[in-house]
Chains A and B, each alone.
Chain A
C-alpha cells in the first residue's frame, strides 16, 4: 500500500473510533457514560505518556506529577481565586508544560534507568509539596469544588460541568484533539526523529539532530497533554487530591500503554478502556481483582509483548501510526 493510501486509511480508522465514542452516548446508561468520560480523560494522560515512552523510548516513572500539575493548576485557581473554567483549564495545561520543561532540563541529562529514577524522585517531591502545603491543598483529604464554580459561558452558550452528557462530549472533544495532535506529530518529520532517537540516539545525533532539544520538546508536549488530562479531570469531577500524584498514577499510564501497544495512537486508548473495565468487572466478583489484573497482564506479555495494537500493526498493518 502506498503512503498516501495508508495515511487516508489510518485517518479513517482513527475517525471511526472517535465516531464510535460519540455514538455510544446515545445508548449507554448513566454509569457507563461517567465511566467512559473518565476513560477518555485517562486515555489522554496515556497518550501523553506514550508520546514520550512509546515513540521516543524514554520511560518516565513520574508522569503523575504532570497530571497533578494540571489538576492542581486548574483546581486551586478555581477554588481559591474563583477563576473561570476555561482560564483555569488553560492555566493547568501551562503549569504542566512548564513543569515538564524544567524537569526535562534536569532529567534528560540522564538516560535509561537513571532517567526512570530521576523522574520517580521528582514525582515523589511533587507529592510531598502537595502534602506540605496542606493549608491550600488539604493534602490527602483533597478539595471538592462547589457546583457554582463549574459553570461557564463559551461562545454565547451556557455550559455546566455538572451535566454528564456535557462532560462526556467535552472529554471526547479533548480526546479527539489529543489523538489528532499525536497523529500529526508522529506521522511527520518530528515523529520520525522521535523513533530514530528511540532506536539509536547517537546515530541520530550523527545525522545532525540535536537530540537533547528534541527530547526536551517531546517531554514538554507529553507533560502538557498529561496536564490537560489532569486539568479536565479536576474540573469535570470537581475533586483534587494528592492521591493523583502518587506512584500508582505514574504506573497506570504505563500499563495502559503496554496493554494497548506502545508507539501506536490507538493503543493507549484501547489499553485505558480495557484496563478500566477489567478492574471494574473483576471487582464486582472478587476483592482480589488486582490479582486478576496481574494474571491478565502476564498473559498479555506472553502472547502480545508489543501490546494489542502493537501486535496488530506488526502482523497486518505496519502503516498504522
Chain B
C-alpha cells in the first residue's frame, strides 16, 4: 500500500519581497515519480528549494503527515528528504569516498548504505579515491545522487538530473530512478526532457509563471499530445 510522503498545500515562495511561486499544492506518495514540468523561470527549482527550507515561504508543507514548513534547512534531510540540486554542487576538492561519507554522516543509524549506492552506480566504487572535481559530468551526477541517497531518503528531489549528459549516462540515471522508485522512494523530479519524463514519471504537474496549472497522469499525456503543446509549447 502506498504511503503519503509529501504534501504541499497553498505554498507561496519568495525571494525577499518578490513572490515567485503562488499557491502551489501537490502530493507525492511512496514509490511514485512526480515530475514538475515547465519553462525556464517558471518556479520549479524555487519550489524544490522551499521544501528543503532554502527559500522563504508560506503555506503548509507536510512530510509523512508532519508539518515541516518551519524546520531549519539542516533538519529536513535528517527526516529523510534528499535533494540533488541542479548543476550537481559536489565538494570538488573531496574524494568520492569523502563526498559519500559527508552524505552518510547526518544519518542517525550506522547502516552501510554504500553497498546499495554501489549497486546503482558501480562506477563510483572504482573511483572512490578520486577527487570528485575530476569526474566526468555523468559520474558527478551519479555521485550527487549517491550522496543524497546516503541519508536513506524517503523522498528524493532531483533538479534536472540529466542536464548536459550523454545518452548513455542519461540511461544510467533513468535506470537508477526506476530502481529507487521500485524500492518505495518517492521522487520529485524537475526535468526539461519530455521523453525522459514520459518514460519514468507517474504523474506530471505543469507549472507556469509560478502557478501549478494542472496535474496529469503520464498515460493521459501520452495519449493527448495537445496537453504538452498547451503547457510547454512542444
Contacts and interface: CB of A to CB of B under 8 A. Distances in A.
B94 A195 contact: yes
Contacts of B214: none
Interface residues of B, number: 28
Contacts of A318: 131
B151 A207 contact: yes
A269 to B, nearest CB: 22
Contacts of A206: 52, 54, 73, 77, 83, 85
Interface in B63-97: 72-78, 83, 85, 89, 91-94, 97
B106 A207 contact: yes
Given A209-B74, A210-B74, A196 B89 contact: no
A203 interface: yes
A208 interface: yes
A140 B147 CA distance: 54
B78 A208 contact: yes
A32 to B, nearest CB: 37
Interface in B84-129: 85, 89, 91-94, 97-98, 101-103, 105-106, 129
Nearest to B132: A199
A208 B77 CA distance: 5
A54 B158 CA distance: 32
Interface residues of A, number: 21
A210 B76 CA distance: 11
A205 B78 CA distance: 11
A195 B105 CA distance: 14
A195 B93 contact: yes
Nearest to A189: B105
B54 A193 contact: no
A200 B54 contact: no
A203 B105 CA distance: 14
Interface string A181-207: 000000001001101100110111111
A311 to B, nearest CB: 14
Contact of B89 (A189, A192, A203): A203
A208 B73 CA distance: 7
A306 to B, nearest CB: 11
Given A189-B101, A192-B102, A196-B94, A208 B74 contact: yes
21 contacts: A3-B97, A3-B129, A192-B94, A192-B105, A195-B93, A196-B91, A196-B94, A199-B93, A203-B91, A204-B102, A206-B73, A206-B77, A207-B102, A207-B103, A207-B106, A207-B151, A208-B74, A208-B76, A208-B151, A209-B106, A210-B72
Interface of A: 1-3, 189, 192-193, 195-196, 199-200, 202-211, 318
Given A204-B102, A207-B147, A318-B131, 6 more contacts: A189-B105, A199-B92, A203-B91, A206-B73, A206-B85, A208-B76
